[in-house]
Structure 1
Amino acid sequence: MPREKSIAERFDAYVEKVGGRLYKPCRRFLREALFGLVENRSVLLSQIGRALDEPRRLIHTEKRLSRNLGNERYDDAAVEQDYLSLVAPILRDERYPRPVIAVDLSDIAKPRAQKMPYLSTVHDGSKDELATGYQIVSVEAVGVRGRRLPLLSRLFSKVSPDFKSQNATTLDAVTTVQPHVPPDAFWVFDSGFDGHIFFRHFDEIGIRYAVRLKLSNDRLLRTPEGTMKVSETVELLPQPHTHRTKYHRLTLTGRKQVLQLGFVRDVHLPAYTPGGRPSKKDSGETRYSLVVARGMGLKPLVILTTEDVQTKEDAGRVVDIYLERWGVEEANRFTKQGFDLEDVRALTWTGLKRMVQLVHLAYGFLALLVHGPRKQVERIASSFKAFGPVPEYLYYRLLEGLGRLLRDSMDGGP
């Protein structure tokens, strides 16, 4: 039986895999930055520098880290691709029989920042108000028993020179990840992705997907009953079927939610003219199903999917798959709270985007540990002083107990 690798050995192997194509000083920076993030759980260079505990004044360590954070020889695209190549095989084992790929937009609110580059107006989800800051597009895979595997995370700003549009930014993220996931993966998108541009692109690249539709959207649907708006379709559609949600953790009571379901087969979307107006023709050969679920809030959950929904069981599976998408929002909260991401203070655009990628890589390392030997992970998580058993979502505890295990390995090179 092969010897179980230590956490330090797994960390070194991880850095070599994702940073193997980097210039050696940049690879050293990657290693130090990841260690500092998991040790002091902060994106501040001063905290990362304190974690390194070098035999020199802290200000000199900070300056070196700052230079490397903006180093032009650091290849962000290579790191992103090498990370995806590293985690891709996991999506093809029994823990991901048909992985759900969740795509989400989140924000970093910086209401007091003044000198940070390309600040723009964002919707602060935690306060439900407009604020100054940046946006992040995230892609994450969900497997059996709620297993998570982060795939991509990119910072963007609507006023940066490299920005084309929010749609283009999101579609580029999907296109980057798509070659690394199994062909039968099922993609899930929230209501911000219900534009005809997204549907056309998704059909062109050949993915299977589900998108939540906004009731307020005046989108037209061609159904067996005729052409009508989404809101009209939902109003006329009966929901006679009962469905108990798959995951009880979705409710505050700890009980599985009971929903009323209805569905429509053979739904088509109208084509759109170059001016953005719906035409009398269908957008293509793609046939959709529409699933409506009531019981989770004041408004019904309306999902348009490429799945062929023929029975109430099919409709229930689509709802459960969509609810699994909420896991990526839980991951967004973890990266903000676990690494204090909203406290990022880099003063260059390259540094800001790179720090978000570094936090993503630190979270990715934790996810790979969770996918490794279970006993090893539970030993780390149990070392964090807390009441109760080790929880299913154990990333917070894992992060608390990880830094000291890597301390002894930081004396060597990359």
Structure 2
Amino acid sequence: MPREKSIAERFDAYVERVGGRLYKPCRRFLREALFGLVDKRSVLLSQIGRALREDSRLIHTEKRLSRNLANKRYDDAAVEEDYLRLVAPILRDERYPRPVIAVDLTDIAKSRARKMPYLYKVHDGSKDEIAKGYQVVSIEAVGVRGRRLPLVSRLFSQSAPGFKSQNATTLEAVATVAPHVPEDAFWVFDSGFDGRVFLERLDGLGISYAVRVKLSNNRFVHTPEGKMKVRELVELLPQPHTHRTKYHRPDITGRRQSLKLGFVRDVHLPKYTSGGRPSKRKLGERRYSLVVAQGIGLKPLVILTTEDVQTKEDAARVVDIYLERWGIEEANRFLKQGFKLEMVRALTWTGLKRMVQLVHLAYGFLALLVHGPRAQVERIASTFKAFGPVPEYMYYRLLEGIGELLRATMDGGP
């Protein structure tokens, strides 16, 4: 029976796999940055420098880290590609019988920043107000028992050079991830991604997906009953089925949420003319199903999906899959709270994007530990001083207890 690898050995192997194509000094920086992030739980270079405990003055360590953060020889695309190759096999085992690939946008608010590059208006979700900052597109896989596997995180700004649109940025991330996930993976998008052009591009990628539809817009759809607005369809559609889902806030309600379900098949979007106007008679080629769920909030949950929904069970499965997508929002909170991501202070655009990728890689390392021997990660998580058993989402506890276990691996070079 092979010996179980230590946490330090697994960290060494992880750095070599995701940074194997990097120039050696850049690979050393990757190791130091990842160690500093998990040890000090902060994106500040001063904190990462303190974690390294070098003989030289802290200011010199911080300047070296700053130079490497913007180093042009560091290949971000190669690191991202090698990370996806590393985690891709996990999506093909029994823990991911049909992976749910959740796509989400989150914000990094920098309301007090003045000199950081390409600041733009974002919606600060924590304060529900408009602030200066950046956006991040995140893609994460969800498996059985709430297992998570981060895939991609990319920072973007509408004022940055080369920016095309939010949809284009998201589609680029989806196109990067798609070759690394199983063909039967089911992609889930929140409201805001229900635009005609975005859906057409998704169809071009040949993926199965579900997207939440906003009721506030005036979108028309064609159903077997005729052409009507989505809002009108939802008002007229009966919801005769009930479904008790375990995914909607069981931690608060203490029980499964009871939903009312309705669905309609053979839904088509209008075919658009070259001028961008919907045709009055011609239908789009793609056939959808529309699922409506009442009981989650004040407004009904409306999901447009490529799945052929024929039964109550099919509709319930689509709703449950969509609710699983909310897990990525918990991951976004973890990145902000666990690594203090919103405190990022890099003054170069390259440095800002790279730091977001580094935080993503640190989270990815923790996720790989969770996917490894359960007893090993529970021993680490148990060192966190808290009441009760180790929770299913153990990343906060794991992050608290892992720093000292990795310190031994920092004595050598890359």
User: Given residue 152 of structure 1, which amino acid in structure 2 is its aligned partner?
Assistant: V
Q: 8 Å contact 2:222–2:283 — kept in the other structure?
A: no
Structure 2: distance between partners of 1:308 and 1:286:
11
Matched residues, percent identical?
83
The aligned residue for residue 30 of structure 1 is 30
Correspondence 1:260 to 2:264: no
The aligned residue for residue 15 of structure 2 is 15
User: Given residue 367 of structure 1, which amino acid in structure 2 is its aligned partner?
Assistant: A
The aligned residue for residue 145 of structure 1 is 145
The aligned residue for residue 235 of structure 2 is 235
Q: 8 Å contact 1:103–1:137 — kept in the other structure?
A: yes
- Which structure 2 residues correspond to residues 167-316 of structure 1 after superposition, within 5 A? 167-247=167-247, 249-250=249-250, 252-282=252-282, 284-316=284-316
Partner-residue secondary structure (3-state), 2:292 = strand
Bigger mean CA deviation after superposition, 88-97 or 161-170: 161-170
Structure 2: distance between partners of 1:213 and 1:48:
42
Correspondence 1:99 to 2:81: no
Bigger mean CA deviation after superposition, 71-80 or 265-274: 265-274
Structure 2: distance between partners of 1:271 and 1:11:
51
| Compared CA separation, residues 318 and 251, structure 1 to 2 (3 A) | farther
Structure 2: distance between partners of 1:366 and 1:119:
30
Structure 1: distance between partners of 2:277 and 2:133:
33
| Compared CA separation, residues 299 and 23, structure 1 to 2 (3 A) | same
Partner-residue secondary structure (3-state), 2:303 = strand
Partner-residue secondary structure (3-state), 1:192 = coil
| Compared CA separation, residues 412 and 209, structure 1 to 2 (3 A) | same
User: Given residue 313 of structure 2, which amino acid in structure 1 is its aligned partner?
Assistant: E
Q: 8 Å contact 1:269–1:282 — kept in the other structure?
A: no
Shift of 1:199: 1.0
Structure 2: distance between partners of 1:170 and 1:12:
32
- Which structure 2 residues correspond to residues 30-179 of structure 1 after superposition, within 5 A? 30-179=30-179
Q: 8 Å contact 2:239–2:292 — kept in the other structure?
A: yes
User: Given residue 400 of structure 2, which amino acid in structure 1 is its aligned partner?
Assistant: E
User: Given residue 51 of structure 1, which amino acid in structure 2 is its aligned partner?
Assistant: A
Partner-residue secondary structure (3-state), 1:191 = coil
Shift of 1:204: 1.1
Bigger mean CA deviation after superposition, 103-112 or 271-280: 271-280
Shift of 1:283: 5.3
Shift of 1:248: 5.7
The aligned residue for residue 400 of structure 1 is 400
Q: 8 Å contact 1:222–1:269 — kept in the other structure?
A: yes
Correspondence 1:335 to 2:335: yes
| Compared CA separation, residues 22 and 240, structure 1 to 2 (3 A) | same
Q: 8 Å contact 1:248–1:255 — kept in the other structure?
A: no
- In structure 2, runs of 5+ residues without a counterpart are none
Q: 8 Å contact 2:246–2:255 — kept in the other structure?
A: no
Structure 2: distance between partners of 1:54 and 1:115:
29
- In structure 1, runs of 5+ residues without a counterpart are none
Structure 2: distance between partners of 1:159 and 1:398:
37
TM-score by length of 1: 0.99
Partner-residue secondary structure (3-state), 2:74 = coil
Shift of 1:253: 1.5
Structure 1: distance between partners of 2:221 and 2:250:
30
- Which structure 2 residues correspond to residues 341-380 of structure 1 after superposition, within 5 A? 341-380=341-380
User: Once the two structures are superposed, what CA deviation does each residue of 1:170-215 show, in whole Å capped at 9, x if it has no partner?
Assistant: 1100000000000000000001100011111111111000000000
Partner-residue secondary structure (3-state), 2:48 = helix
Q: 8 Å contact 1:265–1:309 — kept in the other structure?
A: yes
Structure 2: distance between partners of 1:74 and 1:113:
26
Shift of 1:284: 3.6
Q: 8 Å contact 2:188–2:211 — kept in the other structure?
A: yes
Shift of 1:285: 2.5
Q: 8 Å contact 2:54–2:61 — kept in the other structure?
A: yes
User: Given residue 24 of structure 1, which amino acid in structure 2 is its aligned partner?
Assistant: K
User: Given residue 365 of structure 1, which amino acid in structure 2 is its aligned partner?
Assistant: F
Q: CA RMSD in A?
A: 0.9
Partner-residue secondary structure (3-state), 1:2 = coil
Structure 1: distance between partners of 2:3 and 2:251:
42
Bigger mean CA deviation after superposition, 241-250 or 67-76: 241-250
User: Given residue 313 of structure 1, which amino acid in structure 2 is its aligned partner?
Assistant: E
User: Given residue 360 of structure 1, which amino acid in structure 2 is its aligned partner?
Assistant: H
The aligned residue for residue 323 of structure 1 is 323
Structure 2: distance between partners of 1:244 and 1:45:
47
